[in-house]
Amino acid sequence: MRAAAAARPSAVAPFPGASGRLIHATGIGSRVPPAFSGRVHSVYRQACNIETSGGMLVTLLSGALGNLPRGVLCSAVEAMDFRTLCSVSQTVECLGAELRISGPGVMVDLSSAAVWRCELSACLTDLSDDRTVGILFDLRTTLSEPDAPPGGFAPLILGNDESASLLDRAMQRRLERALPVLAAAIDRFDADRAVDALALLVGLGPGLTPSGDDFIVGLLAALWTRYDCRVLIAKLHEPLARLAATSHPISRQFLLDALDGEFSEPLSDMAVAFSACDREGAAMAVRRAMRIGHTSGSDALTGFLFGLQPALVRERSVIN
Protein backbone atom coordinates (compact mmCIF):
# COMPACT_ATOMS: atom_id res chain seq x y z
CA MET A 1 0.00 0.00 0.00
CA ARG A 2 1.81 3.16 1.19
CA ALA A 3 5.29 2.84 2.57
CA ALA A 4 6.02 4.12 6.06
CA ALA A 5 8.65 6.84 6.07
CA ALA A 6 9.73 9.96 7.94
CA ALA A 7 7.50 13.02 7.57
CA ARG A 8 8.50 15.76 5.15
CA PRO A 9 9.77 18.92 6.87
CA SER A 10 7.30 21.29 5.18
CA ALA A 11 3.58 20.98 5.84
CA VAL A 12 1.99 23.41 3.40
CA ALA A 13 3.97 24.40 0.33
CA PRO A 14 3.21 25.75 -3.16
CA PHE A 15 1.53 23.16 -5.35
CA PRO A 16 4.02 22.36 -8.15
CA GLY A 17 2.88 23.72 -11.50
CA ALA A 18 -0.46 25.02 -10.21
CA SER A 19 -2.04 27.71 -8.06
CA GLY A 20 -2.99 25.36 -5.25
CA ARG A 21 -1.21 24.09 -2.14
CA LEU A 22 0.70 20.95 -1.24
CA ILE A 23 0.28 19.24 2.15
CA HIS A 24 2.46 16.38 3.35
CA ALA A 25 0.79 13.59 5.34
CA THR A 26 2.73 11.94 8.16
CA GLY A 27 0.24 9.20 9.05
CA ILE A 28 -2.66 7.39 7.46
CA GLY A 29 -5.24 5.13 9.08
CA SER A 30 -5.37 1.50 8.01
CA ARG A 31 -9.06 1.85 7.04
CA VAL A 32 -8.43 4.61 4.47
CA PRO A 33 -8.98 3.01 1.04
CA PRO A 34 -6.11 3.29 -1.48
CA ALA A 35 -8.43 4.87 -4.06
CA PHE A 36 -11.70 6.78 -3.71
CA SER A 37 -13.60 9.82 -4.93
CA GLY A 38 -15.98 12.06 -3.04
CA ARG A 39 -16.61 15.59 -1.82
CA VAL A 40 -15.69 17.78 1.14
CA HIS A 41 -18.41 17.18 3.72
CA SER A 42 -17.40 19.64 6.48
CA VAL A 43 -14.38 21.76 7.39
CA TYR A 44 -13.00 22.91 10.75
CA ARG A 45 -9.74 24.50 11.82
CA GLN A 46 -8.04 21.18 12.60
CA ALA A 47 -10.07 18.76 10.46
CA CYS A 48 -11.57 18.36 7.01
CA ASN A 49 -14.12 15.56 6.53
CA ILE A 50 -14.41 13.99 3.11
CA GLU A 51 -17.48 11.93 2.24
CA THR A 52 -16.62 9.23 -0.29
CA SER A 53 -18.97 8.10 -3.04
CA GLY A 54 -19.62 5.00 -0.92
CA GLY A 55 -20.79 7.04 2.07
CA MET A 56 -17.63 6.64 4.19
CA LEU A 57 -16.00 9.61 5.92
CA VAL A 58 -12.24 10.10 5.55
CA THR A 59 -10.79 12.88 7.72
CA LEU A 60 -7.76 15.08 7.13
CA LEU A 61 -6.41 15.89 10.60
CA SER A 62 -3.93 18.19 12.24
CA GLY A 63 -1.18 16.33 14.09
CA ALA A 64 -2.41 17.43 17.52
CA LEU A 65 -5.53 15.28 17.24
CA GLY A 66 -3.77 11.96 16.71
CA ASN A 67 -4.56 9.23 14.19
CA LEU A 68 -7.94 7.81 13.25
CA PRO A 69 -8.70 4.51 11.48
CA ARG A 70 -10.05 6.54 8.53
CA GLY A 71 -7.85 9.59 9.06
CA VAL A 72 -4.95 11.26 7.27
CA LEU A 73 -2.61 13.02 9.70
CA CYS A 74 -1.01 16.19 8.32
CA SER A 75 2.16 17.87 9.58
CA ALA A 76 2.81 21.39 10.98
CA VAL A 77 -0.51 21.79 12.69
CA GLU A 78 0.03 25.24 14.12
CA ALA A 79 0.65 26.78 10.71
CA MET A 80 -2.39 25.26 9.06
CA ASP A 81 -6.10 26.04 9.15
CA PHE A 82 -8.15 23.71 6.95
CA ARG A 83 -10.83 26.40 6.65
CA THR A 84 -8.44 28.48 4.54
CA LEU A 85 -7.65 25.53 2.27
CA CYS A 86 -10.91 23.65 1.71
CA SER A 87 -14.61 24.40 1.21
CA VAL A 88 -17.71 22.26 1.58
CA SER A 89 -18.74 20.43 -1.63
CA GLN A 90 -15.32 20.59 -3.31
CA THR A 91 -14.65 17.37 -5.22
CA VAL A 92 -11.95 14.98 -4.01
CA GLU A 93 -9.97 12.27 -5.80
CA CYS A 94 -7.52 9.91 -4.13
CA LEU A 95 -5.35 7.46 -6.03
CA GLY A 96 -2.28 5.80 -4.55
CA ALA A 97 0.04 8.40 -3.06
CA GLU A 98 -2.00 11.51 -3.98
CA LEU A 99 -5.21 12.99 -2.64
CA ARG A 100 -6.44 15.99 -4.63
CA ILE A 101 -9.11 18.52 -3.68
CA SER A 102 -10.54 20.65 -6.51
CA GLY A 103 -9.87 24.38 -7.10
CA PRO A 104 -8.25 26.50 -6.07
CA GLY A 105 -6.50 23.20 -5.46
CA VAL A 106 -5.00 21.14 -2.63
CA MET A 107 -2.87 18.04 -3.01
CA VAL A 108 -2.09 15.84 -0.03
CA ASP A 109 1.10 13.84 -0.57
CA LEU A 110 0.61 10.40 1.04
CA SER A 111 3.90 8.88 -0.13
CA SER A 112 5.68 9.44 3.22
CA ALA A 113 2.72 8.65 5.45
CA ALA A 114 3.21 5.81 7.94
CA VAL A 115 0.24 3.46 8.13
CA TRP A 116 -1.37 3.56 11.58
CA ARG A 117 -3.35 0.61 12.97
CA CYS A 118 -5.58 0.67 16.02
CA GLU A 119 -4.35 -1.86 18.59
CA LEU A 120 -7.30 -1.68 20.96
CA SER A 121 -9.03 -4.90 19.93
CA ALA A 122 -5.83 -6.82 20.75
CA CYS A 123 -5.88 -5.54 24.35
CA LEU A 124 -7.33 -7.44 27.30
CA THR A 125 -8.07 -5.74 30.61
CA ASP A 126 -7.75 -7.80 33.79
CA LEU A 127 -10.42 -6.41 36.12
CA SER A 128 -9.25 -8.70 38.92
CA ASP A 129 -5.85 -6.98 39.03
CA ASP A 130 -5.59 -4.34 41.77
CA ARG A 131 -3.38 -2.24 39.51
CA THR A 132 -6.18 -2.02 36.92
CA VAL A 133 -8.65 -0.98 39.61
CA GLY A 134 -6.22 1.73 40.70
CA ILE A 135 -5.99 3.09 37.15
CA LEU A 136 -9.79 3.12 36.92
CA PHE A 137 -9.95 5.17 40.11
CA ASP A 138 -7.39 7.55 38.56
CA LEU A 139 -9.63 7.91 35.51
CA ARG A 140 -12.65 8.67 37.64
CA THR A 141 -10.69 11.26 39.62
CA THR A 142 -9.50 12.97 36.43
CA LEU A 143 -13.05 13.13 35.05
CA SER A 144 -14.24 14.69 38.33
CA GLU A 145 -11.55 17.35 38.66
CA PRO A 146 -12.60 21.03 38.70
CA ASP A 147 -10.62 21.72 35.51
CA ALA A 148 -12.28 18.85 33.60
CA PRO A 149 -14.28 19.98 30.56
CA PRO A 150 -17.66 21.41 31.64
CA GLY A 151 -20.79 19.89 30.17
CA GLY A 152 -21.42 16.48 28.68
CA PHE A 153 -22.12 13.26 30.58
CA ALA A 154 -19.24 13.22 33.06
CA PRO A 155 -20.63 15.89 35.43
CA LEU A 156 -24.13 14.38 35.20
CA ILE A 157 -22.99 10.84 35.95
CA LEU A 158 -20.15 11.46 38.38
CA GLY A 159 -22.06 13.86 40.59
CA ASN A 160 -20.17 17.11 40.08
CA ASP A 161 -22.67 18.92 37.84
CA GLU A 162 -23.72 22.38 38.96
CA SER A 163 -25.69 23.30 35.84
CA ALA A 164 -29.43 23.68 36.01
CA SER A 165 -30.06 24.04 32.29
CA LEU A 166 -33.14 22.43 30.79
CA LEU A 167 -30.96 20.37 28.43
CA ASP A 168 -28.87 18.99 31.30
CA ARG A 169 -31.97 18.07 33.25
CA ALA A 170 -33.42 16.30 30.22
CA MET A 171 -30.19 14.37 29.66
CA GLN A 172 -30.07 13.50 33.37
CA ARG A 173 -33.55 11.99 33.20
CA ARG A 174 -32.62 9.97 30.12
CA LEU A 175 -29.46 8.70 31.82
CA GLU A 176 -31.46 7.68 34.88
CA ARG A 177 -33.60 5.51 32.63
CA ALA A 178 -30.86 4.08 30.43
CA LEU A 179 -27.78 3.40 32.55
CA PRO A 180 -29.21 0.98 35.14
CA VAL A 181 -30.68 -1.10 32.32
CA LEU A 182 -27.42 -0.96 30.38
CA ALA A 183 -25.31 -1.97 33.39
CA ALA A 184 -27.56 -4.96 34.09
CA ALA A 185 -27.61 -5.97 30.42
CA ILE A 186 -23.81 -5.95 30.18
CA ASP A 187 -23.54 -7.93 33.41
CA ARG A 188 -25.89 -10.59 31.99
CA PHE A 189 -24.63 -10.35 28.36
CA ASP A 190 -28.20 -9.50 27.34
CA ALA A 191 -27.93 -7.87 23.90
CA ASP A 192 -31.66 -7.14 23.56
CA ARG A 193 -31.85 -5.13 26.79
CA ALA A 194 -28.56 -3.43 25.97
CA VAL A 195 -29.98 -2.24 22.64
CA ASP A 196 -33.08 -0.91 24.43
CA ALA A 197 -30.82 1.17 26.69
CA LEU A 198 -28.48 2.28 23.91
CA ALA A 199 -31.47 3.50 21.88
CA LEU A 200 -32.05 6.06 24.64
CA LEU A 201 -28.46 7.36 24.31
CA VAL A 202 -27.86 7.53 20.52
CA GLY A 203 -28.03 11.16 19.44
CA LEU A 204 -28.48 12.44 22.99
CA GLY A 205 -26.99 15.91 23.44
CA PRO A 206 -25.93 18.79 21.17
CA GLY A 207 -23.18 18.89 18.55
CA LEU A 208 -21.99 16.88 15.57
CA THR A 209 -20.94 14.04 17.89
CA PRO A 210 -23.53 14.15 20.70
CA SER A 211 -22.52 13.10 24.21
CA GLY A 212 -24.60 9.93 23.93
CA ASP A 213 -22.71 8.78 20.83
CA ASP A 214 -19.30 9.62 22.31
CA PHE A 215 -20.26 7.75 25.49
CA ILE A 216 -21.21 4.67 23.43
CA VAL A 217 -17.89 4.80 21.54
CA GLY A 218 -16.02 4.76 24.86
CA LEU A 219 -18.28 2.01 26.18
CA LEU A 220 -17.55 -0.16 23.12
CA ALA A 221 -13.83 0.50 23.57
CA ALA A 222 -14.08 -0.89 27.10
CA LEU A 223 -16.13 -3.91 26.01
CA TRP A 224 -13.60 -4.74 23.30
CA THR A 225 -10.93 -5.05 26.01
CA ARG A 226 -13.11 -7.50 27.98
CA TYR A 227 -12.80 -11.00 26.56
CA ASP A 228 -16.12 -12.00 28.12
CA CYS A 229 -17.92 -9.27 26.13
CA ARG A 230 -16.74 -10.13 22.60
CA VAL A 231 -19.84 -12.25 21.91
CA LEU A 232 -22.04 -9.43 23.24
CA ILE A 233 -20.43 -6.96 20.82
CA ALA A 234 -21.12 -9.32 17.92
CA LYS A 235 -24.80 -9.46 18.90
CA LEU A 236 -24.93 -5.66 19.20
CA HIS A 237 -23.37 -5.04 15.79
CA GLU A 238 -26.43 -5.10 13.53
CA PRO A 239 -28.99 -3.38 15.80
CA LEU A 240 -26.55 -0.69 16.94
CA ALA A 241 -25.50 -0.04 13.33
CA ARG A 242 -29.18 0.61 12.56
CA LEU A 243 -29.38 3.04 15.47
CA ALA A 244 -26.16 4.76 14.32
CA ALA A 245 -27.76 5.40 10.92
CA THR A 246 -30.05 7.94 12.62
CA SER A 247 -27.14 10.03 13.95
CA HIS A 248 -24.99 12.71 12.30
CA PRO A 249 -22.65 11.32 9.58
CA ILE A 250 -19.49 12.15 11.58
CA SER A 251 -20.84 10.49 14.71
CA ARG A 252 -22.20 7.56 12.70
CA GLN A 253 -18.75 6.82 11.28
CA PHE A 254 -17.22 6.75 14.77
CA LEU A 255 -19.95 4.38 16.00
CA LEU A 256 -19.62 2.01 13.03
CA ASP A 257 -15.83 1.92 13.40
CA ALA A 258 -16.17 1.26 17.14
CA LEU A 259 -18.38 -1.75 16.45
CA ASP A 260 -15.52 -3.11 14.33
CA GLY A 261 -12.95 -2.49 17.08
CA GLU A 262 -11.51 0.63 15.43
CA PHE A 263 -10.92 3.70 17.61
CA SER A 264 -8.93 6.93 17.77
CA GLU A 265 -5.27 6.87 18.73
CA PRO A 266 -5.85 8.38 22.22
CA LEU A 267 -8.42 5.68 23.10
CA SER A 268 -6.23 2.97 21.60
CA ASP A 269 -3.19 4.18 23.56
CA MET A 270 -5.24 4.26 26.75
CA ALA A 271 -6.45 0.69 26.26
CA VAL A 272 -2.88 -0.48 25.62
CA ALA A 273 -1.78 1.20 28.86
CA PHE A 274 -4.69 -0.32 30.80
CA SER A 275 -3.96 -3.83 29.55
CA ALA A 276 -0.29 -3.42 30.52
CA CYS A 277 -1.25 -1.91 33.93
CA ASP A 278 0.86 1.10 32.94
CA ARG A 279 -0.44 3.79 35.29
CA GLU A 280 1.73 6.60 33.93
CA GLY A 281 0.98 5.72 30.30
CA ALA A 282 -2.75 5.58 31.03
CA ALA A 283 -2.65 8.99 32.72
CA MET A 284 -0.94 10.53 29.67
CA ALA A 285 -3.43 8.94 27.27
CA VAL A 286 -6.38 10.09 29.39
CA ARG A 287 -5.10 13.67 29.44
CA ARG A 288 -4.68 13.60 25.68
CA ALA A 289 -8.17 12.18 25.14
CA MET A 290 -9.68 14.84 27.42
CA ARG A 291 -8.55 17.51 24.95
CA ILE A 292 -10.62 16.12 22.07
CA GLY A 293 -13.51 18.39 21.14
CA HIS A 294 -15.58 20.29 23.68
CA THR A 295 -16.74 17.22 25.64
CA SER A 296 -16.16 14.39 23.13
CA GLY A 297 -13.05 13.16 24.90
CA SER A 298 -14.49 13.26 28.42
CA ASP A 299 -17.75 11.66 27.23
CA ALA A 300 -15.85 8.78 25.60
CA LEU A 301 -13.72 8.34 28.73
CA THR A 302 -16.88 8.25 30.87
CA GLY A 303 -18.26 5.50 28.62
CA PHE A 304 -14.97 3.62 28.92
CA LEU A 305 -15.10 3.83 32.72
CA PHE A 306 -18.72 2.66 32.74
CA GLY A 307 -17.93 -0.26 30.44
CA LEU A 308 -15.20 -1.55 32.73
CA GLN A 309 -16.56 -0.72 36.16
CA PRO A 310 -20.13 0.69 36.44
CA ALA A 311 -19.80 0.72 40.26
CA LEU A 312 -17.36 3.63 39.98
CA VAL A 313 -20.08 5.90 38.63
CA ARG A 314 -22.63 5.23 41.37
CA GLU A 315 -22.18 8.44 43.31
CA ARG A 316 -25.55 9.61 42.04
CA SER A 317 -28.73 7.61 41.82
CA VAL A 318 -28.19 7.11 38.09
CA ILE A 319 -27.04 3.51 38.61
CA ASN A 320 -28.70 2.26 41.74
Residue-wise pLDDT for 193-209, tens only, equals 999 999 999 999 887 88
- Say what the pLDDT of residue 306 is: 95
Contact 36, 53 (CB under 8 A): yes
Contact 48, 62 (CB under 8 A): no
- Say what the pLDDT of residue 189 is: 96
Amino acid identity at 51:
E
- Say what the pLDDT of residue 162 is: 60
d(CA 41, CA 90): 8
- Say what the pLDDT of residue 161 is: 58
Residue-wise pLDDT for 56-76, tens only, equals 999 999 877 889 999 999 986
- Say what the pLDDT of residue 14 is: 47
- Say what the pLDDT of residue 43 is: 95
- Say what the pLDDT of residue 320 is: 39
Q: What is the DSSP string of the chain?
A: -----PPPS-SEEEPTTSSSEEEEEEEEETTS-SEEEEEEEEE-SSEEEEEETTS-EEEEEEGGG---TTEEEES-GGG--GGGT--TT-EEEEETTEEEETTTTEEEE-TTPEEE---GGG----TT-HHHHHHHHHHHHHHHSTTSPSSSHHHHHHT------HHHHHHHHHHHHHHHHHHHHHHHT-HHHHHHHHHTTTT-SSSSS-HHHHHHHHHHHHHHT-GGGHHHHHHHHHHHHHHHTTS-HHHHHHHHHHHTT---HHHHHHHHHHHTT-HHHHHHHHHHHHTSTTTHHHHHHHHHHHHH-GGGG-SSGGG-
Regions of the chain short of the pLDDT cut 50 = 1-17, 77, 315-320
- Say what the pLDDT of residue 151 is: 86
∠ Cα 103 107 110 (to 5°) = 160
This prediction's pTM: 0.89
- Say what the pLDDT of residue 79 is: 63
Contact 125, 225 (CB under 8 A): yes
- Say what the pLDDT of residue 303 is: 96
